[in-house]
């Protein structure tokens, strides 16, 4: 069986249905088989309406009186109706799901699963899933798989498609080393649940479980498989990187002391340790591949500057790639003040740079030591003279191809070794604290340095969760108070769902509303659809104190440094993950004045996420909490590091990670020493190749 074949090989999937499946990322037979149920329902566990108690419930009945109404709150609609069985009836409500009003046949029975609780003085079933009883009753099993929504394809249709393929599950080929027929690696110390045929068994039990024990067994194997692939790719990348050669940039104690002594502040112990890690790496002839992570405002740029000086004093060039023109400009201004007195020639290359051709010519001729810029650094016509060190700030904001393009700029170097072009040293920086368990897997091929201390004098930001209805009493007076002190404020607009309105219209409406409330203030707005030069001009006015209150989307999340801003307001705070909330909060508290963050919630009771934000300003603690609350998929996705989609594995399962790590290290050594050994594991090689591209230097 070839799992790379098109999904149309499954009986019942024609071209039209295949197009719909592609929208959910299902292109191949492998994609189809790994499209696992999001949950399982036992339709024998229904409760009569007369016996309902608050909590998660399942009822069987017919639905009537469906209608959709708009609410006073813009963008929110409510679809309501009545579910009835032979013992009584209850109210059912869906939010922003108007299609529900036309979904049901009031002459048919359905199973409804949702939360039954008290709302506004009456009990109701809130946002339940619904399954046609006739379809559910014919599956022949107590446990019925529930698949996540695919546009135009109901879950029951997916159940039928898997049923069509049922007899073929036995022919699913094995994947992991040690399980294939005549496998030369059969002596690996594999867990007892990894055996020949385990993959086919796990996938079958996932889609056709007889009981919850089988679901657990299937999930354990599939979790191990996911972790093994990820860890193997990380180990292979790291070993491949160690084969490369780079320019040895000797440690220069004198120059390092000059930079440090010129600083207007004292380095923290964490900054000193991170700097020493990097300087030691640069002094090697194998390329550094290090991730420098530090909380917002922890001083990563200074560490980067000291490191850059080591390369420059050795006669080489350094490139610093930033995700936005605003951040690139801030880096250029700060580093110019710090390094120009030491004789460092610095150039800024962004979209609005004047005389670009002249700047590029100076870079090519070697008349520039440190080049700071945005995507302009990776254009084809930019040639470096002696590039040996690349720094990428907020590296998760760049795609794999963009990062690789910068690294490939060394191909134009004048200095080459006999075997070809030298690989550059790479320092990736991120202000998104990454949980330790995520480091071990996602960034297993990088060395990691952590700055977990804030500079002296920084005051913790006071964070409060307030209800949307309490803004007038609590928030508005605080805004007036801070502005009166000469400070400034950010107001982050609510997230907009796809549909009639978009982010830009939301920001404009909110800015207009706030201008009416605070006519005495200078208020402007900012959103991602503005032209870069327009955004830069607004941020320049804000940083110079010409704007009192800036209404914005999350475009200000990273890199904006305005020490005079002391107040951050985040609407619909429940709609963000902890990492993003922490990033937004980090835009204030960058000066000496006490700073505040208000999280506006539409919920009656704050979520665990918002409670954690109130409790702590420690980004690393919040990252661990985010991992527990949301899981690795969302966090990894927000990092944009690549394509991690851990459907099953939990990064809190340290025992399983340890097992997979041991086997991955053993197999990586075998594959690196004997590349032909990997040829037998074609599918495994294909599945990990995209991970290997993420941070490898060649």
Which pLDDT value is given to residue 412? 44
Helix (H) or strand (E) holding 125: strand 122-132
Which pLDDT value is given to residue 41? 82
Residue 200 has pLDDT above 80, yes or no: yes
The reported pTM is 0.66
Look at residue 544 and tell me if it is in a domain.
yes
Residues 296-320 have a mean pLDDT of 91
- 241's CB contacts (< 8 A; 6+ apart) are 286, 287, 289, 423, 445, 696, 697, 698
d(CA 505, CA 13): 41
Same domain, 487 and 608: yes
Distances (CA, A) of 647 to 223, 271, 355, 633: 8, 36, 50, 8
Which pLDDT value is given to residue 462? 95
Residue 124 has pLDDT above 90, yes or no: yes
Inter-residue contact 613 to 578 (CB < 8 Å): yes
Same domain, 415 and 513: no
pLDDT digits (tens, 9 = 90+) for 106-115: 899 999 998 9
Residue 499 has pLDDT above 70, yes or no: no
Lowest model confidence (mean pLDDT) among 323-337, 397-411, 568-582: 397-411
Inter-residue contact 331 to 393 (CB < 8 Å): yes
- 276's CB contacts (< 8 A; 6+ apart) are none
Which pLDDT value is given to residue 637? 43
Lowest model confidence (mean pLDDT) among 168-182, 200-214, 452-466, 481-495: 452-466
Look at residue 218 and tell me if it is in a domain.
no
Same domain, 422 and 401: yes
In this structure, what CATH number is given to the domain that contains residue 471? 3.40.50.300
Beta strand 88-95 with 77-85 is: antiparallel
Same domain, 274 and 401: yes
Helix (H) or strand (E) holding 514: helix 503-517
Same domain, 512 and 375: no
Same domain, 396 and 260: yes
Same domain, 424 and 543: no
Residues of the chain with pLDDT > 90: what percent? 40
Domain ends where: 99, 117, 136? 136
Counting beta carbons within 10 angstroms of the beta carbon of residue 457, is it exposed (0 to 12), middle (13 to 18) or buried (19 or more)?
exposed
User: pLDDT band at 162, cuts 50/70/90?
Assistant: very high
Which pLDDT value is given to residue 621? 81
Distance in Å from the first CA to the final CA of the chain: 34
The candidate with the shortest Cα–Cα distance to 372, out of 427, 323, 299, 419, is: 323
In this structure, what CATH number is given to the domain that contains residue 99? 2.40.50.140
Residues 156-182 have a mean pLDDT of 89
Distances (CA, A) of 555 to 136, 559, 569, 637: 46, 10, 14, 18
Other CB atoms within a 10 A radius of the CB of residue 416 amount to: 11
Residue 685 has pLDDT above 90, yes or no: no
Name the most confidently modeled range: 94-98, 192-196, 273-277: 273-277
Look at residue 234 and tell me if it is in a domain.
no
Distances (CA, A) of 44 to 59, 60, 111: 10, 10, 10
Look at residue 295 and tell me if it is in a domain.
yes
Residues 25-40 have a mean pLDDT of 91
Look at residue 562 and tell me if it is in a domain.
yes
d(CA 461, CA 466): 16
d(CA 435, CA 635): 10
Residue 419 has pLDDT above 80, yes or no: no
List, in sequence order, every residue forming a beta bridge with 319; answer none if it has no partner.
371, 390
The torsion angles phi and psi of 525, rounded to 5 degrees, stand at -125, 160
Residues 35-58 have a mean pLDDT of 88
User: pLDDT band at 551, cuts 50/70/90?
Assistant: very high
Residues 563-590 have a mean pLDDT of 88
Residue 298 has pLDDT above 60, yes or no: yes
Residue 506 has pLDDT above 60, yes or no: yes
Instruction: Tell me, letter by letter, the H, E, C secondary structure of 578-633.
Output: HHHHHHHHCCCCCCCCCCEEEEEECCCCCCHHHHHHHHCCCHHHHHHHHHHHHCHH
pLDDT digits (tens, 9 = 90+) for 424-458: 898 988 877 666 656 655 556 678 888 888 777 67
- 19's CB contacts (< 8 A; 6+ apart) are none
User: pLDDT band at 413, cuts 50/70/90?
Assistant: very low
Better-scored residue on pLDDT, 267 or 297: 267
Same domain, 475 and 507: yes
Q: What is the CA radius of gyration of the chain?
A: 28
What strands lie across the sheet with 346-349, from one edge to the other? Answer: 346-349, 370-373, 317-321, 387-393, 425-430, 289-294, 447-451
State the total domains in the chain: 3
Residues 272-282 have a mean pLDDT of 95
d(CA 360, CA 377): 10
Residues 464-470 have a mean pLDDT of 91
Which pLDDT value is given to residue 690? 55
Residues 675-688 have a mean pLDDT of 81
Same domain, 605 and 490: yes
Lowest model confidence (mean pLDDT) among 193-202, 416-425, 549-558, 564-573: 416-425
The torsion angles phi and psi of 381, rounded to 5 degrees, stand at -85, 0
- 176's CB contacts (< 8 A; 6+ apart) are 190, 194, 199, 225, 228, 684
Look at residue 640 and tell me if it is in a domain.
no
Tokens 């508290």: give the residue: 589
Same domain, 389 and 274: yes
Look at residue 39 and tell me if it is in a domain.
no
Same domain, 261 and 404: yes
Domain ends where: 136, 162, 185? 136
Q: What angle do CA 645, 649, 651 make, to 5 degrees?
A: 100
User: Which two three-digit tokens encode residue 576?
Assistant: 């963000």
Which pLDDT value is given to residue 291? 86
The torsion angles phi and psi of 489, rounded to 5 degrees, stand at -140, 150
Query: Average pLDDT of the chain?
Result: 84
Instruction: Tell me, letter by letter, the H, E, C secondary structure of 667-692.
Output: HHHHHHHCHHHHHHCHHHHHHHHHHH
Question: Which domain, by its residues, includes 539?
Answer: 462-616
Inter-residue contact 85 to 109 (CB < 8 Å): no
Look at residue 407 and tell me if it is in a domain.
yes
Residues 413-417 have a mean pLDDT of 43
Tokens 């949950």: give the residue: 39
Domain ends where: 136, 154, 184? 136
Inter-residue contact 289 to 369 (CB < 8 Å): no
Which pLDDT value is given to residue 484? 95
pLDDT digits (tens, 9 = 90+) for 616-667: 888 878 877 776 766 544 444 444 333 344 677 776 677 888 888 888 888 8
With residues binned 3-state (H G I as helix, E B as strand, rest as coil), the percentages for the chain, rounded to 5, are: 45, 20, 40
Better-scored residue on pLDDT, 241 or 658: 658
Residue 552 has pLDDT above 80, yes or no: yes
Tell me 435's DSSP state: -
Distances (CA, A) of 166 to 10, 206, 372: 10, 12, 57
Inter-residue contact 422 to 286 (CB < 8 Å): no
The DSSP string of 70-88 is E-SSTT-EEEEEEEEETTE
Same domain, 572 and 477: yes
d(CA 635, CA 616): 19
pLDDT digits (tens, 9 = 90+) for 378-399: 888 888 999 999 998 876 555 5
Better-scored residue on pLDDT, 192 or 148: 192
């Amino acid at each position: 069986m070839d799992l790379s074949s098109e999904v149309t090989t499954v009986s019942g999937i024609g071209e039209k249905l295949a197009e719909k499946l592609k929208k959910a990322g299902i292109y191949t037979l492998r994609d189809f088989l790994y499209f696992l149920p999001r949950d399982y329902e036992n339709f024998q566990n229904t409760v009569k309406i007369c016996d309902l108690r608050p909590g998660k419930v399942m009822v069987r009945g017919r639905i009537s009186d469906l209608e959709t109404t708009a609410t006073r709150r813009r963008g929110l609609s409510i679809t309501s109706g009545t579910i009835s069985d032979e013992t009584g009836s209850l109210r059912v409500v869906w939010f922003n799901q108007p299609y529900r009003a036309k979904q049901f046949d009031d002459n048919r029975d359905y199973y409804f699963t949702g939360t039954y609780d008290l709302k506004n003085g009456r009990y109701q079933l809130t946002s339940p899933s619904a399954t046609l009883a006739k379809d559910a009753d014919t599956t022949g099993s107590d446990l019925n798989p529930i698949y996540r929504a695919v546009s135009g394809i109901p879950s029951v249709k997916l159940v039928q498609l898997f049923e069509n393929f049922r007899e073929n599950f036995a022919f699913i080929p094995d994947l992991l080393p040690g399980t294939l027929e005549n496998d030369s690696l059969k002596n690996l110390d594999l867990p007892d649940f990894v055996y020949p045929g385990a993959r086919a068994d796990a996938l079958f039990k996932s889609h056709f479980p007889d009981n919850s024990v089988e679901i657990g067994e299937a999930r354990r194997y599939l979790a191990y498989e996911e972790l093994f692939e990820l860890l193997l790719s990380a180990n292979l990348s790291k070993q491949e990187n160690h084969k490369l050669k780079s320019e040895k940039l000797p440690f220069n104690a004198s120059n390092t002391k000059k930079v440090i002594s010129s600083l207007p502040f004292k380095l923290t112990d964490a900054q000193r340790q991170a700097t020493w890690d990097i300087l030691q790496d640069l002094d090697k002839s194998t390329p550094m591949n290090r991730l420098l992570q530090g909380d917002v405002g922890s001083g990563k740029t200074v560490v980067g500057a000291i490191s850059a000086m080591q390369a420059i004093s050795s006669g080489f060039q350094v490139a610093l790639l930033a995700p936005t023109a605003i951040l690139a400009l801030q880096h250029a201004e700060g580093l110019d003040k710090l390094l120009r007195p030491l004789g460092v020639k610095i150039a800024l290359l962004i979209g609005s740079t004047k005389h670009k051709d002249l700047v590029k010519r100076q870079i090519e001729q070697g008349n520039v030591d440190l080049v700071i810029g945005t995507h302009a650094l990776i254009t084809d016509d930019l040639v470096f003279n002696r590039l040996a060190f690349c720094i990428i700030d907020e590296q998760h904001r760049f795609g794999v191809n963009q990062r690789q393009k910068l690294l490939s700029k060394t191909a134009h170097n004048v200095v080459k070794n006999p075997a070809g072009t030298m690989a550059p040293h790479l320092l990736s920086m991120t202000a998104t604290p990454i949980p330790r368990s995520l480091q071990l897997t996602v960034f297993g091929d990088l060395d990691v340095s952590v700055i977990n201390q804030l500079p002296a004098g920084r005051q913790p930001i006071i964070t409060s969760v307030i209800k949307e209805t309490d803004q007038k009493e609590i928030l508005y007076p605080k805004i007036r108070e801070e502005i009166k002190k000469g400070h400034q404020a950010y107001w982050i607009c609510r997230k907009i769902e796809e549909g009639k309105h978009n982010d830009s219209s939301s920001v404009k409406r909110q800015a207009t509303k706030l201008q009416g409330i605070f006519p005495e203030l200078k208020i402007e707005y900012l959103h991602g659809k503005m032209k870069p030069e327009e955004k830069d001009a607004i941020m320049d006015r804000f940083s110079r104190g010409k704007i009192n209150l800036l209404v914005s989307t999350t475009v200000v999340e990273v890199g904006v440094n305005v020490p005079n801003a002391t107040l951050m307001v985040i609407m619909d705070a429940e709609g963000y993950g902890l990492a993003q909330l922490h990033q937004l909060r980090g835009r204030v508290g960058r000066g000496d004045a006490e700073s505040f963050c208000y999280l506006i919630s539409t919920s009656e009771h704050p979520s665990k996420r918002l409670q954690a934000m109130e409790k702590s300003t420690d980004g690393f603690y919040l990252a661990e909490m985010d991992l527990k609350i949301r899981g690795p998929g969302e966090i990894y996705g927000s990092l944009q590091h690549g394509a991690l989609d851990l459907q099953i594995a939990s990064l809190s399962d340290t025992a399983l990670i340890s097992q997979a790590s041991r086997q991955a290290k053993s197999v990586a050594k075998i594959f690196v020493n004997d590349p032909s050994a990997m040829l037998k594991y074609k599918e495994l090689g294909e599945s990990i190749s995209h991970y290997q591209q993420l941070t490898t230097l060649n």
